[in-house]
Amino acid sequence: MILSFEFHYNANNGVLENLLQCICEDFVIVYAIKRTGVLVRLDVQASQEQLMDFSDFLAQRLPLSVFFNASIVQGVLQMQEHTQIEKCNLVLPFTPKTLQNAQGNPFFANEIGINPYEKVERLLLRDKVGKTLAKADDTTSFESLFENVATLLDAGKSVAICSASGDFVYTKVDVSTKKRVGQLDDILATDLSVVEKMVVIYDNEIKALASLEKPSLRLRLNSLYEAKEILQTTRVNLSLPKDMVIYLLCVALMNRGIGFLAMEHLGGENFDVQLRCDGIITKIPQLCVSVLENGVIIIRDGDGYANANLKENLKKFEHRAYAQFSSILQEHNLFAQPSICFYHSKTHDDMIMHFNDAIGLVELVKFSIQFSNIQEIFDAISSSATGKKMVANYKEQFASIYANAANTQLHALPQNIYSMWGVLAVILGIAQSVEQGSMAVMENAEDFGGDRGPRIDYFRNDENALLSQFNFVAFVRSAMSFKLAGAQKMVLSFGIVEAMSFFIGDLSDYFVQKLNAKDILLAGSLFGSKRFTTLTCKNVGANHQIRFNKELPIDCP
């Protein structure tokens, strides 16, 4: 009997194929593995009883991955031809097999990939000046050392740890240390079981957090934890242990009831004691992701798992929008058909573009602020009689907000929607500065409990032209009118974000019709926002095929 397992795997890094091969060899079964595009197919041949046992073995040994999209299993009549599998040269977080067999040894190697601790013989616990306090090089001494470090963390000490996960200073997160960790928002959960004690998290996000790559997710504190006022933030970047040194320490911490550690990058002597490896470490790639409501995982940051050719091709473009657009075309092999790309970034200039194999890339819509201060925006609105009256009413009703806005300078801002949100947030009194305002609009929109906001105007200067600028003044004027009508900060913020998703949906319909495009490509760090991107997908995806980056992050550094 032959069973065929098909995996939809969005990365060309060889991890899945190598894992499947090791699993088959450990089980001792006849197998064949072949990759075609994003599909990795595994055929296995054995008796029905053996195949049932193998299926259970496969489920135990094959970790989740942020690059998994779907999998199916079915019976087939004939084995496929096995293809040569190249050795995986990535440094990976620990696998299920490693956890099962390590037996307390933090240097135990995964069945595939490069061992990050291959050139390390022992762990050293030192004080701030470098004096050795303890060392470990076998199972018994490792256990004792981790207990020692856990005791120090439990006592409120900060511990610098240089491991395959990176070089960080770790501090226990609880009421006793809230002054020390209050400003930090990079949090390590010592075990998956404690995560929901701190943050609001959904099933698809839990799966991503626990995947092989152990990515970090930007998550909101739940109301109970926020009420403790331990952290001076409403959101944290949360992750689980990535390597065996940190994992075994977290086991000792969990035994003491310690669920969370704050992390900050090691710099200078901002620690009490240090835990170091005696030797050379190879670092594990870091990954940050966002999980949409439909389960789609977007890589917000980190290209360590991406194909080298993809990363190299990004360097060919000076403009970030062009580079990102090209990368999606390459990852999905879309060069033979026309596409539209919406590039919206927090740090780079926005652009909406069209690609056609015959003419190449064409810029359709640009986003430009073109004002040196907000007073100039008020003056532009006041150029008409109705606009002048509205600005006068606004100044009268919201005198302090108007005064702060009128004195706000607009220098060296990225020419993008995110900057425009920040400018608008100052005008509406959502925030005091543009920098605070952009984030405030996005976070307010994510926290808004309703499902509909005011339909703020997102227009182009010429709605009938293929090539046109975004009408920034009409956008600001529209939002001010809703503020005058009594709309509050939360609903205004949601309206700003929601209306942007409608704008993308409407333009998608328009450009697809006019330019005969087949796919809508979404790129740029603004799409790292779960709610904004979910709204956009609902407004675009009903009529068009949406494409994101698969292996690469959604924005260039």
CA-to-CA distance for 495 and 501, rounded, in angstroms?
10
Helices (H), 240-300: 244-255
pLDDT tens by residue, 48-98: 999 999 999 999 999 999 999 889 999 999 999 999 899 999 999 999 999
Task: Please name each of the domains of the chain with its CATH number.
Answer: 2-76 (3.30.70.100), 96-280 (3.90.870), 374-517 (3.30.420.40)
Does the structure show a pLDDT above 90 at 542?
no
* Average pLDDT over every residue of 302-322: 91
Question: CA 9, 13, 18, 19 torsion: positive or negative?
Answer: negative
pLDDT tens by residue, 144-203: 999 999 999 999 999 999 999 999 999 999 998 888 898 899 999 999 999 999 999 999
Residue 105 — pLDDT band, cuts 50, 70, 90? Answer: very high
Long-range (24+ apart) CB contacts under 8 A made by 50-53 are 51/1, 51/3
What is the identity of the amino acid at 213?
Answer: E
pLDDT at 313: 87
pLDDT at 248: 98
CA-to-CA distance for 290 and 221, rounded, in angstroms?
16
HSE value, Cβ hemisphere, 13 Å, CA-based, for 518: 11
Question: Which neighbouring-strand residues pair with 167?
Answer: 162
> Strand 30-36's sheet: what is its strand order?
30-36, 39-45, 2-9, 68-76
For 283, which DSSP code?
A: P
pLDDT tens by residue, 314-359: 888 888 999 999 999 999 999 999 999 999 999 999 999 999 988 8
- 504: region left, alpha or beta (phi > 0 left; psi from -120 to 50 alpha): alpha
Give the predicted TM-score (pTM) of the model.
0.94
Instruction: Return the percentage of the chain with pLDDT > 90, whole number.
Output: 90
By DSSP bridging, strand 297-301 and strand 288-291 are: antiparallel
HSE value, Cβ hemisphere, 13 Å, CA-based, for 356: 12
- 86: region left, alpha or beta (phi > 0 left; psi from -120 to 50 alpha): beta
How large is the angle between the packed helices 417-428 and 489-515, nearest 10 degrees? 150
CA-to-CA distance for 473 and 217, rounded, in angstroms?
35
